[in-house]
Structure 1
Amino acid sequence: MIENERNCRHEHVINIARQMMTAARTAPKGKGVDVIEVALVTGEELQQLSETMLQLAEETGMKFFIRDANNILQAESVVIIGTHEHAQGLNCGHCGFSTCDSRTEGVPCAINSVDVGIAIGSACATAADMRVDTRVMFSAGLAAQRLNYLEGCKSVYAIPVSASSKNPFFDRKSPVQTIK
């Protein structure tokens, strides 16, 4: 049997993205409390994610959303990682408030935010180990958050995943000369 890499690439990249999700899940968590959610976006939902990013570009005037919206369509899949809002009760002050109870509604617990960052790093390290291309995008994460792909999560980030002859997430061209 001869199996051409072009014929199995998509399946292979999806399997790596699943390994990235496992790496995010098993990444260390502050205080040992797991409040992150991880999912894989493919198919029609990937197109929907791109369309929502275009809407965000229109609403905000931030043109890089257009570039990123087109960029994720070059990916085989997108891994999304976010956190539920859950104060860890440490009264550490890292969020800018002296106690967890004095924290203003909507201000994220710094421990939760760090947990998302560690999970992202772990997922990207797995991707690098497997020699696929990625890029961390808050823009696609914001669109995923708007679409509620990770129900109830805040601080959502996205990691598009690709395996092609040239990394589509490098040397990206902006849709306009200057980004506001």
Structure 2
Amino acid sequence: MSPPSRGGKVLGKMTTLHTARLTLRPLMPGDSEAYAAMRFHPGVARWLPPLAVDRAEAVRNTIARFEAGWRERGYAPWGVFRDDRLIGHGGLNFVPEFGETEVLWALHPDAWGHGFATEMARAALVYGFETLGLDLIFAMTLPDNLPSQAVMKRLGLTYRRRVQYKGFDDIVWFDRDRAGWMQRHAVIPSAARDL
């Protein structure tokens, strides 16, 4: 599969974004230790699918999977950095089981309650809808993860259904389509701007 293109520009390179308070950049092998401390923190791990391999291998596999996403589709989750400190991961992730792209986030508990998940996810949605031209972006979480569901609602995503995924029998699914996003944010498609 070739990287997506938009307006003749191939989007297969790893992209870094900056928000008001965060830097979103692809994870690198040098981030492994900080990433493991976040990913395997008990407060974070309880919300994520269990991993069947040891920590070091899981981190290597995750970074390699994200790197492959950038290469193959032009997007993947970023490392989320605040003042040069890795506080989590988040961004866009293609989920083959559903044939759609998810916006996801996982932040170290020290970073909870500051609006970082909303800030990161909003930047990811802008990138997905306005730069990549994705038609639908969804988010999912466990039914009792009310803080993540609140983020989904703040982002304008709507609850649609329950699904099974990676060993979890009951996952809530929220989504937003591109047309609804563009209308809500009064975005004029680039083709119309060029007229």
- TM-score bracket, shorter-length normalisation: 0.3 to 0.5
TM-score (norm 1): 0.33
Question: Greater CA radius of gyration, 1 or 2?
Answer: 1
Greater relative contact order structure (CA < 8 Å, 6+ sep) = 1
The structure with more strand, counted as a fraction of residues: 2
Structure with the higher fraction of residues in helix conformation: 1
